């Protein structure tokens, strides 16, 4: 059963690939679209309030300093418009009738205005620089918070969410927030205060022309409201579609070999076209509505310009309202300034809506419930005292115990599952009444067809998921009482798919125990028989590996994973197809190291290659979530049941 939510590649002939692309893509995106629909219903105002609180709270001083600078800058610009009336009416007009005009007063007025404009320039520079820094700081802070929270999420969260969509939170969504903080919010503050200041100034200078400008601004508002409403919906859809697109690209790239081997390129491109077209349509509609806003506002502004001149001239010539040439010049500037700032504010509103759509996605991620852990029993290092008892030790001793309050319970590795039932999705049960025992030091093998529930059992022992009913005990303790971190420290896992990280070979093996010395790493590599191939690398253990480690074979990557587990030196081991990617010759080299690694430990082995588990103490044969046979190799062969059929080749593990 495939649990990872994401894209499903359907088998089909090339001739039907294009025709089936639309329904296939629609079906595979159903989970993502449902989440998108839920986010689309989220109201923007609560998101904005929460976001604003996150922005302001840690950086109040600089934020309000920036707002103060923007307000002062806006006031300077507004005052500059009234200066036009002053220059024309008080200085220029009187000098027109003078035969020998005195320019000294005009020079002083202009000089004073230059000083004020210079201060406005410095204020503008101050708020622009401060908000740019705040935007970058907030982007860093929210990414840190998102990543920290992501480390606390349960495995089930990543089963339900595409990796590409999650990556989109860290890139596209946080970038829209940065742009909103550094550009949109300052522009909205500047434009808002500017319009308020200019409106008050206009009504002080002349009520009639102010009413004319107000009427035109109302028309601007109605147009902007209609267009921003339409573009806002599509900007939100654009962010959702972008996340889905990233998810599809990420999964297709990670499965590129599968695409190639099944010649699925045409169908993959057809699916991509469907997703990409959705993003294109949303982006086209969003930007189309947003980009026609300024031309419309601009043309209304030209109409306003003409009306101000005509109406102002009529009022001035009729002597009504005290309109002067300076008044008309002031209103021409003020009207154009109002129209431009109103258009800018409307444009920035679109970016705010887009950023809030991204914030909604981020907050949904951050509001995901962290993995719950009510365990109070902890794993401690112990050393034996003279009385034969155990004492807690801060140093690594190789002996462990469970500390339950004041009681120390030696860690023996006895694991028991009693009548366990489990389902990943309610109503679709995976495990049915599983009862099994692993005594200390025993090697327990789980075999069965793909989907039988083998890996699920080991996931439950690690408490990656919690059971529906029944119980799982570890040395007599219910694992729900054991702290999850300590529980997982007691378990070493070697998975079929090896995850390596960017860093040296030393770093990748040290991932099993961060305080390990170089000598301990080399010893662990020798135990896993990985030392030979590591020594042949260009820089040995200091060889730099990339995340995908394409320069290593699958078998070599598997050996590093085994060395990592050996370094952690856990009392219980889980080997999930640990040698599946190793050839027969390499397997012979590894087997001795694996035997040494498993010695004295409780080991769960999941294997399709039955030759690797014939020496197991107990073999569990599973089928459709049930244990149908149990016993050692000889006992099961004597029963001549399913195991006998698998071992002799009558049935295959598929």
In the predicted model, what is the mean pLDDT of residues 98-102? Answer: 75
Quote the mean pLDDT of the chain: 81
Confidence bin at 474 (pLDDT 50/70/90)? very high
Q: How sure is the predictor about 296, in pLDDT bands with cuts at 50, 70 and 90?
A: confident
Residue 291's Cβ-side half-sphere holds a number of Cα atoms within 13 Å equal to 6
* pLDDT in the model for residue 486: 92
Domains in the chain: ranges and CATH: 18-366 (1.20.1560.10), 378-410 (no CATH), 415-648 (3.40.50.300)
Q: How many helices (H) and strands (E) does the chain have?
A: 24, 16
**Residue 552 CB partners (closer than 8 Å, separation 6+):** 500, 545, 560
* pLDDT-based confidence at residue 593 (cuts at 50, 70, 90): low
Angstrom CA distances, 217 to 224, 397, 536, stand at 10, 78, 76
Q: What is the mean pLDDT of residues 106-111?
A: 82
Sign of the torsion angle spanned by Cα atoms 88, 89, 95, 101: negative
DSSP string computed for 422-491: E-SBTTB--EEEEEEEE-TT-EEEEEESTTSSHHHHHHHHTTSS--SEEEEEETTEEGGGB-HHHHHHTE
pLDDT, tens digit (0-9, with 9 covering 90-100), for 232-247: 778 778 877 887 887 7
What pTM value is reported for the model? 0.71
- d(C-alpha 466, C-alpha 423), whole Å: 9
Is the model's pLDDT at 268 over the cut of 70?
A: yes
Q: How far apart are CA 364 and CA 361, in angstroms?
A: 5
The Cα–Cα gap between 357 and 365 comes to: 13
Given a cut of 90, whether residue 100 has pLDDT beyond it is no
Q: What pLDDT shows up at residue 396?
A: 80
What does the pLDDT read at residue 341?
A: 80
Q: Is the pLDDT of residue 37 over 50?
A: no
Q: Does the pLDDT at position 4 exceed 60?
A: no
Sort 330 into a burial class: Cβ within 10 Å, 0-12 / 13-18 / 19+.
buried
Residue 631 has pLDDT above 60, yes or no: yes
- pLDDT tens sequence across 81-93: 777 777 777 777 7
Percent of the chain with pLDDT over 90: 17
Strand 572-576 to 491-494 pairing: parallel
Model pLDDT for residues 528-565, shown as the tens digit of each residue: 888 888 999 989 999 988 766 667 887 788 888 888 88
- Helix (H) / strand (E) element for 419: namely strand 415-422
């Amino acid at each position: 059963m495939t649990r990872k939510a994401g894209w499903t590649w359907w088998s089909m002939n090339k001739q039907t690939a294009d025709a089936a692309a639309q329904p296939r893509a629609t079906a595979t995106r159903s989970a993502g679209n449902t989440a998108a629909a839920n986010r689309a219903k989220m109201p923007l105002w609560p998101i904005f309030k929460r976001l604003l609180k996150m922005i302001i709270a840690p950086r109040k001083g600089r934020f309000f300093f920036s707002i103060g600078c923007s307000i002062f800058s806006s006031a300077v610009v507004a005052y500059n418009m009234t200066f036009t009336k002053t220059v024309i009416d008080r200085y220029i007009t009187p000098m027109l009738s003078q035969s020998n005009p005195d320019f000294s007063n005009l020079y002083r007025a202009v000089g004073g205005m230059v000083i004020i404009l210079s201060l406005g320039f410095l204020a503008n520079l101050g708020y622009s620089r401060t908000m740019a820094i705040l935007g970058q700081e907030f982007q860093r802070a929210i990414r840190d918070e998102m990543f920290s929270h992501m480390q606390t999420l349960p495995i089930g969260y990543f089963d339900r969410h595409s990796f590409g969509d999650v990556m989109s939170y860290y890139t596209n969504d946080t970038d829209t927030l940065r742009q909103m903080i550094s550009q949109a919010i300052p522009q909205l503050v500047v434009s808002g205060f500017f319009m308020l200041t200019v409106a008050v100034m206009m009504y002080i200078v002349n009520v009639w022309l102010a009413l004319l400008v107000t009427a035109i601004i109302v028309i601007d508002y109605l147009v902007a409201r209609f267009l921003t409403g339409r573009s806002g919906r599509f900007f939100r859809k654009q962010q959702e579609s972008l996340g889905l697109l990233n998810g599809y690209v990420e999964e297709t790239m990670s499965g590129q070999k599968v695409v190639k081997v099944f010649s699925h390129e045409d169908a993959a491109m057809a699916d991509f076209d469907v997703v990409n077209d959705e993003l294109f349509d949303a982006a086209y509609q969003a930007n189309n509505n947003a980009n026609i806003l300024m031309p419309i506002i601009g043309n209304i502004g030209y109409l306003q310009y003409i009306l101000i001149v005509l109406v102002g001239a009529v009022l001035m010539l009729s002597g009504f309202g005290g309109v002067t040439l300076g008044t008309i010049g002031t209103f021409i500037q003020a009207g154009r300034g109002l129209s431009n700032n109103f258009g800018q504010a409307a444009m920035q509103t679109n970016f705010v809506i887009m950023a809030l759509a991204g914030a909604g996605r981020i907050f949904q991620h951050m509001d995901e419930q962290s993995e719950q852990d009510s365990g109070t029993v902890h794993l401690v290092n112990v050393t034996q005292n003279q009385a034969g008892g155990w004492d807690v030790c801060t140093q690594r001793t190789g002996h462990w115990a469970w500390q339950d309050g004041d009681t120390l319970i030696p860690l023996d590795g006895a694991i028991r599952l009693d009548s366990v039932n489990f389902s990943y999705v309610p109503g679709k049960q995976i495990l049915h009444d599983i009862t099994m025992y692993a005594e200390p030091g025993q090697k327990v093998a789980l075999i069965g067809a793909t989907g039988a529930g083998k890996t699920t059992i080991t996931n439950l022992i690690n408490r990656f998921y919690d059971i529906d009913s029944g119980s799982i005990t570890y040395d007599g303790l219910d694992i729900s009482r054991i702290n999850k971190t300590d529980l997982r420290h007691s378990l070493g896992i070697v998975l079929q798919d090896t995850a390596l990280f960017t860093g040296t070979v030393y770093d990748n093996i040290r991932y099993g125990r961060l305080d390990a010395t170089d000598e301990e790493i080399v010893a662990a590599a020798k135990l896993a028989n990985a030392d030979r191939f590591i020594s042949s690398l260009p820089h040995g253990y200091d060889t730099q590996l990339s995340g995908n480690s394409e320069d290593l074979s699958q078998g070599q990557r598997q050996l590093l994973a085994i060395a990592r587990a050996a370094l952690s030196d856990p009392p219980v081991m889980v080997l999930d197809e640990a040698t599946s990617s190793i050839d027969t010759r390499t397997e012979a080299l590894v087997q001795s190291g694996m035997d040494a690694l498993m010695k004295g430990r409780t080991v769960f082995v999941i294997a399709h290659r039955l030759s690797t588990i014939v020496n197991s103490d107990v073999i569990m044969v599973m089928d459709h979530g049930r244990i149908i046979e149990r016993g050692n190799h000889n006992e099961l062969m004597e029963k001549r049941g399913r195991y006998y059929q698998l071992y002799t080749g009558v049935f295959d593990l598929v």
